[in-house]
């Protein structure tokens, strides 16, 4: 029978796939992509709440390549100089949040949801921990 050989081939293929995934994610911990990315390079300064990008929410809907390949988003929290002009121009978040694939940019409060002054960071949480619903709650301790 060829069963054992087929099984070891499958394992080798799996190992290769995992190695590629690890390479694609760089040296980051594997869990990071399931958390949130807080972006606050410009928001607080401009009088807006920081943006809480639910990475995990997007990750379960799209492959890494859609954003980190096709849209050219670098693997670094705060590393892409994303701002509203670029978004309205259809870059980064704006590639999808244009009223087509996803709700449009007019929904300021769906993206600018962070507790005021939260610094740019990766937070391995679900979004609820970071969002201030209407009024500021106690800011969660920043993990890094």
| Site residues, ligand HEC (CB under 6 A) | 24-25, 28, 32-33, 37, 39-43, 46, 48, 51, 53-55, 57-59, 61-62, 64, 66-68, 71, 73, 75-80, 82-84, 87, 92-93, 95-97, 101-103, 105-108, 110-112, 122
Sheet architecture: strand order including 51-54: 51-54, 36-39, 121-123
Q: Which is nearer to ligand HEC, 6 or 89 (CB)?
A: 89
Closer Cβ to ligand HEC, 58 or 129, answer by number = 58
Judged by CB, which is closer to ligand HEC: 62, or 125? 62
Which residue in this structure is represented by tokens 């995990």? 56
- In whole angstroms, the minimum distance from the beta carbon of 98 to ligand HEC comes to 9
Distance CA 105, CA 92 (A): 12
Partnered with residue 114 across adjacent β-strands are 131
Provide the token pair at 30.
Answer: 């594997």
For residues 11 and 72, which CB has a smaller minimum distance to ligand HEC in the complex? 72
Helix, strand or coil, per DSSP, at residue 95: helix
Here the tokens at position 106 are: 């007019």
């Amino acid at each position: 029978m060829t069963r054992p050989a087929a099984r070891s081939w499958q394992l080798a293929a799996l190992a290769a796939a995992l190695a590629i995934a690890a390479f694609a994610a760089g040296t980051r911990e594997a869990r990071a992509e399931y958390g949130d990315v807080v972006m606050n390079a410009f928001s607080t300064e401009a009088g807006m709440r920081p943006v809480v990008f639910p990475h995990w929410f997007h990750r379960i809907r799209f492959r890494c390549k859609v954003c980190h390949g096709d849209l050219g988003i670098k693997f670094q929290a705060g590393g892409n100089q994303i701002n509203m002009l670029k978004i309205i121009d259809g870059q980064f978040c704006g590639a999808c949040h244009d009223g087509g694939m996803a709700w449009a940019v007019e929904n300021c409060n769906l993206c600018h949801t962070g507790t005021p002054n939260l610094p740019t960071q990766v937070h391995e949480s679900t979004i609820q921990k970071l969002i201030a619903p209407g009024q500021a709650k106690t800011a969660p301790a920043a993990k890094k």
